[in-house]
Protein backbone atom coordinates (compact mmCIF):
# COMPACT_ATOMS: atom_id res chain seq x y z
CA UNK A 1 0.00 0.00 0.00
CA UNK A 2 2.87 2.33 -0.60
CA UNK A 3 0.81 4.29 -3.12
CA UNK A 4 -1.73 5.44 -0.53
CA UNK A 5 1.05 6.98 1.53
CA UNK A 6 1.75 9.35 -1.33
CA UNK A 7 -1.84 10.08 -2.15
CA UNK A 8 -2.27 13.13 0.09
CA UNK A 9 0.91 14.59 -1.32
CA UNK A 10 -0.25 13.98 -4.87
CA UNK A 11 -3.59 15.58 -4.11
CA UNK A 12 -1.83 18.60 -2.62
CA UNK A 13 0.39 18.85 -5.69
CA UNK A 14 -2.60 18.64 -7.99
CA UNK A 15 -4.42 21.33 -5.99
CA UNK A 16 -1.34 23.51 -6.08
CA UNK A 17 -0.95 23.09 -9.81
CA UNK A 18 -4.55 23.92 -10.50
CA UNK A 19 -4.29 26.99 -8.25
CA UNK A 20 -1.25 28.34 -10.10
CA UNK A 21 -2.76 27.40 -13.45
CA UNK A 22 -5.92 29.37 -12.70
CA UNK A 23 -3.85 32.43 -11.77
CA UNK A 24 -1.72 32.11 -14.92
CA UNK A 25 -4.82 31.83 -17.04
CA UNK A 26 -6.37 34.95 -15.47
CA UNK A 27 -3.15 36.91 -16.02
CA UNK A 28 -3.02 35.83 -19.64
CA UNK A 29 -6.62 36.87 -20.22
CA UNK A 30 -5.97 40.25 -18.63
CA UNK A 31 -2.78 40.81 -20.66
CA UNK A 32 -4.46 39.87 -23.94
CA UNK A 33 -7.18 42.38 -23.26
CA UNK A 34 -4.69 45.04 -22.22
CA UNK A 35 -2.50 44.65 -25.30
CA UNK A 36 -4.79 44.06 -28.25
CA UNK A 37 -3.35 44.26 -31.74
CA UNK A 38 -4.74 47.65 -32.64
CA UNK A 39 -3.72 50.74 -34.55
CA UNK A 40 -0.90 51.63 -35.08
CA UNK A 41 -0.25 47.96 -35.87
CA UNK A 42 3.42 48.60 -36.57
CA UNK A 43 3.68 49.34 -32.84
CA UNK A 44 1.13 47.02 -31.28
CA UNK A 45 1.79 43.87 -33.23
CA UNK A 46 5.43 43.59 -32.04
CA UNK A 47 4.36 44.70 -28.56
CA UNK A 48 1.77 41.95 -28.41
CA UNK A 49 4.16 39.38 -29.86
CA UNK A 50 7.12 40.20 -27.60
CA UNK A 51 4.92 40.33 -24.52
CA UNK A 52 3.88 36.73 -25.05
CA UNK A 53 7.17 35.51 -26.54
CA UNK A 54 9.05 36.16 -23.29
CA UNK A 55 9.21 33.03 -21.14
CA UNK A 56 6.91 33.20 -18.14
CA UNK A 57 8.25 33.73 -14.66
CA UNK A 58 6.27 33.04 -11.52
CA UNK A 59 6.67 36.61 -10.22
CA UNK A 60 3.31 37.85 -11.58
CA UNK A 61 1.47 34.79 -10.25
CA UNK A 62 3.13 35.28 -6.86
CA UNK A 63 1.79 38.84 -6.89
CA UNK A 64 -1.76 37.54 -7.28
CA UNK A 65 -1.27 34.73 -4.75
CA UNK A 66 0.18 37.12 -2.15
CA UNK A 67 -2.80 39.40 -2.60
CA UNK A 68 -5.17 36.51 -1.94
CA UNK A 69 -3.10 35.24 0.97
CA UNK A 70 -3.53 38.49 2.88
CA UNK A 71 -7.26 38.50 2.19
CA UNK A 72 -7.48 40.58 -0.99
CA UNK A 73 -9.38 39.84 -4.18
CA UNK A 74 -7.53 38.57 -7.20
CA UNK A 75 -8.64 41.45 -9.39
CA UNK A 76 -6.90 43.95 -7.10
CA UNK A 77 -3.50 42.54 -8.03
CA UNK A 78 -4.11 41.89 -11.70
CA UNK A 79 -2.74 45.14 -13.19
CA UNK A 80 0.38 44.95 -11.02
CA UNK A 81 0.92 41.32 -11.99
CA UNK A 82 0.69 42.26 -15.66
CA UNK A 83 3.02 45.23 -15.20
CA UNK A 84 5.56 42.89 -13.60
CA UNK A 85 5.36 40.52 -16.55
CA UNK A 86 5.74 43.46 -18.94
CA UNK A 87 8.91 44.69 -17.18
CA UNK A 88 10.30 41.18 -17.46
CA UNK A 89 9.29 40.92 -21.12
CA UNK A 90 10.98 44.25 -21.94
CA UNK A 91 14.17 43.19 -20.15
CA UNK A 92 14.13 39.81 -21.90
CA UNK A 93 13.67 41.45 -25.30
CA UNK A 94 16.56 43.87 -24.79
CA UNK A 95 18.77 41.17 -23.35
CA UNK A 96 18.53 39.29 -26.62
CA UNK A 97 19.17 42.21 -28.96
CA UNK A 98 22.05 41.54 -31.32
CA UNK A 99 24.50 44.17 -30.13
CA UNK A 100 28.07 44.27 -31.30
CA UNK A 101 29.54 43.82 -27.85
CA UNK A 102 27.50 40.97 -26.43
CA UNK A 103 30.02 39.37 -24.10
CA UNK A 104 29.17 35.79 -24.99
CA UNK A 105 26.69 33.87 -27.07
CA UNK A 106 23.21 34.04 -25.65
CA UNK A 107 20.85 31.12 -26.18
CA UNK A 108 19.58 31.56 -29.69
CA UNK A 109 16.08 32.89 -29.79
CA UNK A 110 13.85 33.42 -32.76
CA UNK A 111 13.71 37.07 -33.74
CA UNK A 112 10.46 37.78 -35.50
CA UNK A 113 11.34 41.48 -35.86
CA UNK A 114 14.40 43.53 -36.74
CA UNK A 115 16.66 44.73 -33.92
CA UNK A 116 15.43 48.32 -34.15
CA UNK A 117 11.83 47.23 -33.79
CA UNK A 118 12.69 45.02 -30.83
CA UNK A 119 14.63 47.83 -29.18
CA UNK A 120 11.76 50.26 -29.61
CA UNK A 121 9.17 47.74 -28.53
CA UNK A 122 11.03 47.13 -25.29
CA UNK A 123 11.14 50.89 -24.80
CA UNK A 124 7.41 51.03 -25.38
CA UNK A 125 6.54 48.13 -23.10
CA UNK A 126 8.06 49.68 -19.97
CA UNK A 127 5.93 52.84 -19.89
CA UNK A 128 2.94 50.86 -21.15
CA UNK A 129 3.10 48.54 -18.14
CA UNK A 130 3.33 51.44 -15.72
CA UNK A 131 0.51 53.26 -17.47
CA UNK A 132 -1.64 50.13 -17.16
CA UNK A 133 -0.94 50.14 -13.44
CA UNK A 134 -1.52 53.85 -12.96
CA UNK A 135 -4.88 53.51 -14.70
CA UNK A 136 -5.96 50.51 -12.63
CA UNK A 137 -7.34 52.42 -9.69
CA UNK A 138 -11.05 51.96 -10.30
CA UNK A 139 -10.76 48.35 -11.27
CA UNK A 140 -8.74 47.47 -8.21
CA UNK A 141 -10.83 49.58 -5.88
CA UNK A 142 -7.50 50.70 -4.55
CA UNK A 143 -6.50 54.02 -3.18
CA UNK A 144 -3.96 56.05 -5.11
CA UNK A 145 -1.38 55.84 -2.31
CA UNK A 146 -1.26 52.07 -2.70
CA UNK A 147 -0.89 52.32 -6.45
CA UNK A 148 1.95 54.84 -6.11
CA UNK A 149 3.67 52.58 -3.62
CA UNK A 150 3.36 49.68 -6.04
CA UNK A 151 4.74 51.82 -8.88
CA UNK A 152 7.79 52.57 -6.74
CA UNK A 153 8.22 48.84 -6.01
CA UNK A 154 8.03 47.93 -9.68
CA UNK A 155 10.27 50.72 -10.97
CA UNK A 156 12.90 49.76 -8.38
CA UNK A 157 12.77 46.05 -9.18
CA UNK A 158 12.94 46.59 -12.93
CA UNK A 159 15.55 49.35 -12.83
CA UNK A 160 18.96 49.98 -11.45
CA UNK A 161 18.26 48.34 -8.10
CA UNK A 162 17.01 45.15 -9.70
CA UNK A 163 17.00 43.64 -13.16
CA UNK A 164 19.21 46.32 -14.77
CA UNK A 165 21.77 46.01 -11.98
CA UNK A 166 21.79 42.21 -12.41
CA UNK A 167 22.25 42.58 -16.16
CA UNK A 168 25.12 45.03 -15.62
CA UNK A 169 26.82 42.52 -13.41
CA UNK A 170 26.45 39.81 -16.04
CA UNK A 171 28.18 41.95 -18.67
CA UNK A 172 31.80 41.10 -19.09
CA UNK A 173 31.44 37.98 -16.99
CA UNK A 174 32.73 35.05 -18.94
CA UNK A 175 30.27 32.14 -18.92
CA UNK A 176 32.85 29.55 -17.92
CA UNK A 177 34.51 31.50 -15.18
CA UNK A 178 31.30 32.74 -13.61
CA UNK A 179 31.54 31.59 -10.05
CA UNK A 180 28.96 30.76 -7.45
CA UNK A 181 29.00 34.22 -5.89
CA UNK A 182 28.24 35.95 -9.16
CA UNK A 183 25.46 33.50 -9.99
CA UNK A 184 23.91 34.13 -6.60
CA UNK A 185 24.29 37.90 -6.93
CA UNK A 186 22.75 38.03 -10.40
CA UNK A 187 19.91 35.64 -9.45
CA UNK A 188 19.21 37.78 -6.41
CA UNK A 189 19.02 40.99 -8.46
CA UNK A 190 17.09 39.58 -11.40
CA UNK A 191 14.72 36.76 -10.47
CA UNK A 192 14.98 37.49 -6.73
CA UNK A 193 14.05 41.18 -6.80
CA UNK A 194 11.29 40.58 -9.34
CA UNK A 195 9.65 37.93 -7.14
CA UNK A 196 10.19 40.04 -4.01
CA UNK A 197 8.50 42.89 -5.81
CA UNK A 198 5.65 40.66 -6.98
CA UNK A 199 4.98 39.34 -3.50
CA UNK A 200 5.22 42.77 -1.87
CA UNK A 201 2.96 44.42 -4.45
CA UNK A 202 0.34 41.70 -4.07
CA UNK A 203 0.40 42.06 -0.30
CA UNK A 204 0.18 45.86 -0.49
CA UNK A 205 -2.77 45.77 -2.90
CA UNK A 206 -4.55 43.04 -0.94
CA UNK A 207 -4.43 45.19 2.18
CA UNK A 208 -1.79 43.21 4.07
CA UNK A 209 -0.19 44.50 7.26
CA UNK A 210 3.35 45.85 7.03
CA UNK A 211 4.74 42.73 8.64
CA UNK A 212 2.93 40.52 6.14
CA UNK A 213 4.22 42.63 3.26
CA UNK A 214 7.82 42.29 4.48
CA UNK A 215 7.55 38.54 5.11
CA UNK A 216 6.12 37.96 1.66
CA UNK A 217 8.78 40.22 0.13
CA UNK A 218 11.49 38.09 1.77
CA UNK A 219 9.77 34.91 0.66
CA UNK A 220 9.73 36.22 -2.91
CA UNK A 221 13.39 37.20 -2.77
CA UNK A 222 14.47 33.72 -1.63
CA UNK A 223 12.17 31.88 -4.01
CA UNK A 224 13.18 34.00 -7.01
CA UNK A 225 16.87 33.64 -6.18
CA UNK A 226 16.42 29.85 -6.00
CA UNK A 227 14.75 29.87 -9.40
CA UNK A 228 17.55 31.97 -10.90
CA UNK A 229 20.22 29.68 -9.50
CA UNK A 230 18.42 26.50 -10.57
CA UNK A 231 18.02 27.86 -14.10
CA UNK A 232 21.79 28.36 -14.35
CA UNK A 233 22.18 24.64 -13.69
CA UNK A 234 25.67 24.89 -12.19
CA UNK A 235 26.93 22.09 -9.98
CA UNK A 236 28.01 22.94 -6.45
CA UNK A 237 25.04 25.14 -5.57
CA UNK A 238 22.83 22.48 -3.96
CA UNK A 239 23.62 23.54 -0.41
CA UNK A 240 22.92 27.20 -1.16
CA UNK A 241 19.61 26.25 -2.80
CA UNK A 242 18.47 24.16 0.19
CA UNK A 243 19.40 26.98 2.56
CA UNK A 244 17.40 29.52 0.56
CA UNK A 245 14.39 27.19 0.41
CA UNK A 246 14.49 26.83 4.18
CA UNK A 247 14.65 30.60 4.63
CA UNK A 248 11.73 31.02 2.23
CA UNK A 249 9.51 28.55 4.05
CA UNK A 250 10.35 30.15 7.39
CA UNK A 251 8.87 33.44 6.17
CA UNK A 252 5.54 31.70 5.55
CA UNK A 253 5.25 30.15 9.01
CA UNK A 254 3.10 32.92 10.44
CA UNK A 255 0.54 32.59 7.64
CA UNK A 256 -2.24 30.09 8.19
CA UNK A 257 -4.54 28.16 5.90
CA UNK A 258 -4.62 26.46 2.53
CA UNK A 259 -3.32 29.45 0.55
CA UNK A 260 -0.12 29.48 2.57
CA UNK A 261 0.41 25.81 1.70
CA UNK A 262 -0.23 26.56 -1.99
CA UNK A 263 2.25 29.45 -2.04
CA UNK A 264 4.90 27.41 -0.29
CA UNK A 265 5.03 25.15 -3.36
CA UNK A 266 6.88 27.87 -5.25
CA UNK A 267 10.11 26.83 -3.53
CA UNK A 268 10.14 23.80 -5.83
CA UNK A 269 10.74 25.34 -9.24
CA UNK A 270 9.78 22.13 -11.03
CA UNK A 271 6.28 22.32 -9.60
CA UNK A 272 5.64 25.78 -10.92
CA UNK A 273 5.50 24.85 -14.56
CA UNK A 274 1.88 23.87 -14.19
CA UNK B 1 16.54 106.90 -32.72
CA UNK B 2 15.69 103.67 -34.34
CA UNK B 3 17.39 101.81 -31.47
CA UNK B 4 14.88 103.03 -28.91
CA UNK B 5 12.06 101.52 -30.95
CA UNK B 6 13.56 98.11 -30.38
CA UNK B 7 14.43 98.65 -26.75
CA UNK B 8 11.18 97.29 -25.24
CA UNK B 9 11.47 94.20 -27.39
CA UNK B 10 15.05 93.70 -26.37
CA UNK B 11 14.14 94.08 -22.71
CA UNK B 12 11.34 91.58 -23.11
CA UNK B 13 13.70 89.16 -24.80
CA UNK B 14 16.25 89.57 -22.03
CA UNK B 15 13.58 89.00 -19.40
CA UNK B 16 12.36 85.94 -21.22
CA UNK B 17 15.86 84.53 -21.52
CA UNK B 18 16.59 85.05 -17.86
CA UNK B 19 13.26 83.42 -16.94
CA UNK B 20 13.99 80.29 -18.99
CA UNK B 21 17.60 80.25 -17.80
CA UNK B 22 16.51 80.27 -14.17
CA UNK B 23 14.16 77.34 -14.79
CA UNK B 24 16.85 75.38 -16.65
CA UNK B 25 19.27 75.98 -13.82
CA UNK B 26 16.78 74.76 -11.21
CA UNK B 27 16.06 71.63 -13.23
CA UNK B 28 19.76 70.91 -13.58
CA UNK B 29 20.31 71.28 -9.85
CA UNK B 30 17.40 68.96 -9.11
CA UNK B 31 18.60 66.36 -11.60
CA UNK B 32 22.16 66.41 -10.28
CA UNK B 33 20.86 65.79 -6.79
CA UNK B 34 18.51 63.05 -7.98
CA UNK B 35 21.19 61.16 -9.91
CA UNK B 36 24.36 61.30 -7.87
CA UNK B 37 27.25 59.08 -8.85
CA UNK B 38 26.83 56.53 -6.11
CA UNK B 39 27.18 52.82 -5.60
CA UNK B 40 26.93 50.72 -7.74
CA UNK B 41 29.07 53.09 -9.82
CA UNK B 42 28.98 50.77 -12.81
CA UNK B 43 25.28 51.64 -12.99
CA UNK B 44 25.13 55.21 -11.77
CA UNK B 45 28.11 56.67 -13.60
CA UNK B 46 26.68 55.90 -17.06
CA UNK B 47 23.23 56.91 -15.88
CA UNK B 48 24.55 60.27 -14.71
CA UNK B 49 26.61 60.74 -17.85
CA UNK B 50 23.87 59.83 -20.32
CA UNK B 51 21.30 61.93 -18.49
CA UNK B 52 23.39 65.04 -19.05
CA UNK B 53 24.81 64.04 -22.44
CA UNK B 54 21.38 64.13 -24.08
CA UNK B 55 20.69 67.50 -25.69
CA UNK B 56 18.22 69.57 -23.75
CA UNK B 57 14.71 70.09 -24.98
CA UNK B 58 12.41 72.81 -23.69
CA UNK B 59 9.71 70.31 -22.64
CA UNK B 60 10.85 70.11 -18.98
CA UNK B 61 11.13 73.90 -18.71
CA UNK B 62 7.67 74.26 -20.21
CA UNK B 63 6.39 71.92 -17.50
CA UNK B 64 7.72 74.26 -14.81
CA UNK B 65 6.55 77.40 -16.61
CA UNK B 66 3.03 75.98 -17.09
CA UNK B 67 2.87 75.17 -13.39
CA UNK B 68 3.77 78.77 -12.53
CA UNK B 69 1.40 80.17 -15.14
CA UNK B 70 -1.62 78.54 -13.50
CA UNK B 71 -0.50 79.77 -10.08
CA UNK B 72 1.52 76.83 -8.77
CA UNK B 73 4.94 76.83 -7.15
CA UNK B 74 7.96 75.82 -9.17
CA UNK B 75 8.90 73.01 -6.79
CA UNK B 76 5.58 71.26 -7.47
CA UNK B 77 6.58 70.62 -11.08
CA UNK B 78 10.24 69.83 -10.56
CA UNK B 79 10.07 66.01 -10.30
CA UNK B 80 7.79 65.82 -13.35
CA UNK B 81 10.10 68.12 -15.32
CA UNK B 82 13.06 65.89 -14.46
CA UNK B 83 11.12 62.72 -15.33
CA UNK B 84 10.32 64.25 -18.73
CA UNK B 85 13.98 64.99 -19.36
CA UNK B 86 14.88 61.44 -18.29
CA UNK B 87 12.37 59.91 -20.75
CA UNK B 88 13.90 62.05 -23.49
CA UNK B 89 17.45 61.12 -22.43
CA UNK B 90 16.60 57.39 -22.48
CA UNK B 91 15.03 57.70 -25.93
CA UNK B 92 18.00 59.70 -27.23
CA UNK B 93 20.45 57.11 -25.88
CA UNK B 94 18.63 54.20 -27.48
CA UNK B 95 18.16 56.10 -30.72
CA UNK B 96 21.92 56.30 -31.10
CA UNK B 97 22.75 52.69 -30.27
CA UNK B 98 24.79 51.07 -33.02
CA UNK B 99 22.32 48.43 -34.19
CA UNK B 100 22.87 46.41 -37.31
CA UNK B 101 19.75 47.62 -39.05
CA UNK B 102 19.89 51.37 -38.52
CA UNK B 103 18.11 52.62 -41.60
CA UNK B 104 20.51 55.49 -42.29
CA UNK B 105 23.51 57.15 -40.73
CA UNK B 106 22.59 59.05 -37.61
CA UNK B 107 24.56 62.18 -36.66
CA UNK B 108 27.71 60.81 -35.13
CA UNK B 109 27.72 61.13 -31.39
CA UNK B 110 30.46 60.35 -28.96
CA UNK B 111 29.87 57.05 -27.21
CA UNK B 112 31.56 57.07 -23.84
CA UNK B 113 30.26 53.58 -23.06
CA UNK B 114 29.83 50.31 -24.89
CA UNK B 115 26.50 49.59 -26.61
CA UNK B 116 25.40 47.10 -23.97
CA UNK B 117 25.97 49.61 -21.21
CA UNK B 118 24.10 52.30 -23.10
CA UNK B 119 21.21 49.92 -23.78
CA UNK B 120 20.96 48.96 -20.12
CA UNK B 121 21.35 52.51 -18.93
CA UNK B 122 18.46 53.63 -21.09
CA UNK B 123 16.44 50.76 -19.62
CA UNK B 124 17.37 51.92 -16.15
CA UNK B 125 16.61 55.59 -16.75
CA UNK B 126 12.95 55.04 -17.68
CA UNK B 127 11.85 53.39 -14.42
CA UNK B 128 14.18 55.68 -12.48
CA UNK B 129 12.41 58.76 -13.80
CA UNK B 130 9.00 57.37 -12.95
CA UNK B 131 10.18 56.32 -9.50
CA UNK B 132 11.46 59.85 -8.91
CA UNK B 133 8.02 61.13 -9.79
CA UNK B 134 6.11 58.57 -7.72
CA UNK B 135 8.25 59.51 -4.72
CA UNK B 136 7.75 63.24 -5.15
CA UNK B 137 4.48 63.52 -3.30
CA UNK B 138 5.65 65.15 -0.10
CA UNK B 139 7.99 67.53 -1.83
CA UNK B 140 5.36 68.70 -4.24
CA UNK B 141 2.61 68.89 -1.63
CA UNK B 142 0.55 67.16 -4.24
CA UNK B 143 -2.15 64.66 -3.81
CA UNK B 144 -1.56 61.15 -5.12
CA UNK B 145 -4.32 61.45 -7.72
CA UNK B 146 -2.44 64.27 -9.40
CA UNK B 147 0.81 62.32 -9.39
CA UNK B 148 -0.90 59.27 -10.89
CA UNK B 149 -2.44 61.45 -13.57
CA UNK B 150 0.98 62.89 -14.37
CA UNK B 151 2.48 59.39 -14.51
CA UNK B 152 -0.15 58.44 -17.09
CA UNK B 153 0.68 61.58 -19.11
CA UNK B 154 4.41 60.84 -19.08
CA UNK B 155 4.13 57.12 -19.84
CA UNK B 156 1.85 57.91 -22.77
CA UNK B 157 4.11 60.61 -24.19
CA UNK B 158 7.25 58.52 -23.86
CA UNK B 159 5.70 55.26 -25.06
CA UNK B 160 3.77 53.95 -27.96
CA UNK B 161 1.50 56.98 -28.25
CA UNK B 162 4.42 59.41 -28.37
CA UNK B 163 8.18 59.14 -28.77
CA UNK B 164 8.23 55.40 -29.51
CA UNK B 165 5.53 55.78 -32.15
CA UNK B 166 7.48 58.65 -33.75
CA UNK B 167 10.64 56.56 -33.76
CA UNK B 168 8.78 53.65 -35.34
CA UNK B 169 7.60 55.93 -38.08
CA UNK B 170 11.14 57.14 -38.74
CA UNK B 171 12.40 53.60 -39.22
CA UNK B 172 12.70 52.64 -42.82
CA UNK B 173 12.13 56.19 -43.97
CA UNK B 174 14.92 57.20 -46.27
CA UNK B 175 16.41 60.56 -45.30
CA UNK B 176 16.24 62.02 -48.80
CA UNK B 177 12.74 60.93 -49.61
CA UNK B 178 11.25 61.91 -46.28
CA UNK B 179 8.48 64.25 -47.23
CA UNK B 180 6.79 67.08 -45.43
CA UNK B 181 3.97 64.91 -44.10
CA UNK B 182 6.31 62.45 -42.46
CA UNK B 183 8.41 65.22 -40.94
CA UNK B 184 5.28 66.79 -39.50
CA UNK B 185 3.98 63.45 -38.21
CA UNK B 186 7.25 62.50 -36.53
CA UNK B 187 7.74 65.99 -35.05
CA UNK B 188 4.21 65.85 -33.71
CA UNK B 189 4.76 62.46 -32.05
CA UNK B 190 8.24 63.14 -30.70
CA UNK B 191 8.86 66.78 -29.82
CA UNK B 192 5.16 67.67 -29.99
CA UNK B 193 3.80 65.05 -27.59
CA UNK B 194 6.70 65.59 -25.17
CA UNK B 195 6.00 69.32 -24.98
CA UNK B 196 2.25 68.74 -24.77
CA UNK B 197 2.92 66.35 -21.91
CA UNK B 198 5.25 68.83 -20.20
CA UNK B 199 2.73 71.66 -20.39
CA UNK B 200 -0.18 69.48 -19.27
CA UNK B 201 1.77 67.98 -16.34
CA UNK B 202 2.87 71.40 -15.15
CA UNK B 203 -0.70 72.70 -15.32
CA UNK B 204 -2.07 69.64 -13.49
CA UNK B 205 0.52 69.88 -10.71
CA UNK B 206 0.11 73.64 -10.40
CA UNK B 207 -3.61 73.20 -9.81
CA UNK B 208 -4.84 74.53 -13.15
CA UNK B 209 -8.45 74.18 -14.25
CA UNK B 210 -9.25 71.53 -16.87
CA UNK B 211 -9.59 74.17 -19.55
CA UNK B 212 -6.19 75.64 -18.69
CA UNK B 213 -4.64 72.17 -18.77
CA UNK B 214 -6.05 71.49 -22.24
CA UNK B 215 -5.04 74.89 -23.63
CA UNK B 216 -1.51 74.47 -22.35
CA UNK B 217 -1.39 70.93 -23.70
CA UNK B 218 -2.34 72.22 -27.15
CA UNK B 219 0.19 75.03 -26.87
CA UNK B 220 2.89 72.47 -26.05
CA UNK B 221 1.88 70.24 -28.93
CA UNK B 222 2.13 73.09 -31.47
CA UNK B 223 5.35 74.49 -30.02
CA UNK B 224 7.06 71.11 -29.84
CA UNK B 225 5.99 70.25 -33.37
CA UNK B 226 7.44 73.57 -34.59
CA UNK B 227 10.72 72.78 -32.85
CA UNK B 228 10.86 69.32 -34.38
CA UNK B 229 10.19 70.67 -37.87
CA UNK B 230 12.69 73.52 -37.52
CA UNK B 231 15.37 71.08 -36.35
CA UNK B 232 14.91 69.01 -39.53
CA UNK B 233 15.78 72.14 -41.50
CA UNK B 234 13.87 71.13 -44.65
CA UNK B 235 12.87 73.82 -47.12
CA UNK B 236 9.19 74.18 -47.94
CA UNK B 237 7.88 74.01 -44.40
CA UNK B 238 7.79 77.75 -43.67
CA UNK B 239 4.05 78.07 -44.17
CA UNK B 240 3.33 75.10 -41.91
CA UNK B 241 5.61 76.53 -39.21
CA UNK B 242 3.90 79.93 -39.28
CA UNK B 243 0.50 78.30 -39.08
CA UNK B 244 1.51 76.21 -36.04
CA UNK B 245 2.99 79.25 -34.32
CA UNK B 246 -0.27 81.12 -34.81
CA UNK B 247 -2.26 78.20 -33.38
CA UNK B 248 0.11 78.02 -30.40
CA UNK B 249 -0.25 81.73 -29.57
CA UNK B 250 -4.04 81.48 -29.87
CA UNK B 251 -4.08 78.92 -27.05
CA UNK B 252 -2.38 81.42 -24.74
CA UNK B 253 -4.83 84.26 -25.36
CA UNK B 254 -6.99 83.52 -22.35
CA UNK B 255 -4.01 83.65 -19.97
CA UNK B 256 -3.11 87.03 -18.58
CA UNK B 257 0.05 88.56 -17.17
CA UNK B 258 3.81 88.52 -17.61
CA UNK B 259 4.19 84.75 -17.38
CA UNK B 260 1.95 84.27 -20.37
CA UNK B 261 4.18 86.64 -22.37
CA UNK B 262 7.28 84.74 -21.22
CA UNK B 263 5.83 81.38 -22.22
CA UNK B 264 4.75 82.68 -25.61
CA UNK B 265 8.43 83.14 -26.47
CA UNK B 266 8.78 79.38 -26.85
CA UNK B 267 7.24 79.65 -30.33
CA UNK B 268 10.57 81.09 -31.50
CA UNK B 269 12.93 78.15 -31.18
CA UNK B 270 15.99 80.37 -31.55
CA UNK B 271 15.05 82.27 -28.43
CA UNK B 272 14.88 79.18 -26.27
CA UNK B 273 18.56 78.48 -26.25
CA UNK B 274 19.02 80.94 -23.44
Give CA separation, A221 vs A32, A156, A158, in Å: 28, 14, 14
pLDDT tens across the length of chain A (274 residues): 455 667 777 787 788 889 999 999 999 999 999 988 888 788 889 999 999 999 999 999 999 999 999 999 999 999 999 999 999 999 999 988 877 666 555 556 778 888 889 999 999 999 999 999 999 876 666 788 999 999 999 999 998 888 888 888 888 676 655 688 889 999 999 999 999 999 999 999 999 999 999 999 999 999 999 999 999 888 889 999 999 999 999 999 999 888 899 999 999 876 444 3
Q: Does A150 touch chain B (CB under 8 A)?
A: no
Of B148, B168, B169, which has the smallest distance from its Cβ to A147's Cβ? B148
B41-45, B233-237, B266-270: range with lowest mean pLDDT:
B266-270
Q: Does A137 touch chain B (CB under 8 A)?
A: yes
Sign of the torsion angle spanned by Cα atoms A166, A172, A173, A175: positive
Identify the pLDDT of residue A190.
Answer: 93
Identify the pLDDT of residue A156.
Answer: 93
Q: Which long-range contacts (CB under 8 A, 24 or more apart) does B208-214 make?
A: B208/B66, B208/B69, B208/B70, B208/B71, B208/B72, B209/B70, B211/B254, B212/B69, B212/B70, B212/B255
| A267 lies in some domain | yes
| A60 lies in some domain | yes
A140-191 pLDDT per residue, tens: 667 889 999 999 999 999 988 888 888 888 886 766 556 888 899 999 999 9
Distance of residue B187 Cα from the nearest chain A Cα, in angstroms: 17
Nearest residue on chain B to A146, alpha-carbon basis: B144
| A28 lies in some domain | yes
Of B94, B101, B145, which has the smallest distance from its Cβ to A123's Cβ? B94
Average pLDDT score, chain B: 88
A41-66 pLDDT per residue, tens: 888 899 999 999 999 999 999 999 99
For B217, counting Cβ atoms within 10 Å of its Cβ (0-12 exposed, 13-18 middle, 19+ buried), the class is buried
Identify the pLDDT of residue A273.
Answer: 45
Nearest residue on chain A to B119, alpha-carbon basis: A94
Residue ranges of A 218-237 with Cβ closer than 8 A to chain B? none
State yes or no: pLDDT of B137 exceeds 60: yes
pLDDT band, residue B1 (cuts 50/70/90): very low
B169 touches B185 (CB < 8 A): yes
| A2 lies in some domain | no
B195-253 pLDDT per residue, tens: 999 999 999 999 999 999 999 999 999 999 999 999 988 888 999 999 999 999 999 99
Nearest residue on chain A to B124, alpha-carbon basis: A159
Of B43, B87, B134, which has the smallest distance from its Cβ to A155's Cβ? B134
| A4 lies in some domain | no
**Residue-number span of the structural domain to which B168 is assigned:** 2-272
Q: Does B123 touch chain A (CB under 8 A)?
A: yes
- How many helices (H) and strands (E) chain A has is answered by 14, 0
Q: Do the chains contact at A123 and B122, CB–CB below 8 Å?
A: yes
Residue ranges of A 53-92 with Cβ closer than 8 A to chain B? 87, 90-91
Q: Do the chains contact at A156 and B43, CB–CB below 8 Å?
A: no
Rounded distance, CA A259 to CA A74, Å?
13
Identify the pLDDT of residue B97.
Answer: 87
Please give the tally of structural domains in chain A: 1
| A234 lies in some domain | yes
- Give the helix, strand, coil percentages of chain B, each rounded to 5: 75, 0, 25
Nearest residue on chain B to A154, alpha-carbon basis: B127
CATH number at residue B117: 1.10.600.10
Amino acid sequence: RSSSRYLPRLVAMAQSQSYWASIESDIETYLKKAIPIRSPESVFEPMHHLTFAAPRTTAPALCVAACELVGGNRIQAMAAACAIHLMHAAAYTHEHLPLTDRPRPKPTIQHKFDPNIELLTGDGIIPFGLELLARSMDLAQSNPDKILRVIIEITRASGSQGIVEGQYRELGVDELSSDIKIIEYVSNKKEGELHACGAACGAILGGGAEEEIERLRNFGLYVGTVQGIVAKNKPGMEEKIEKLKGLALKELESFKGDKSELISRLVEPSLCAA
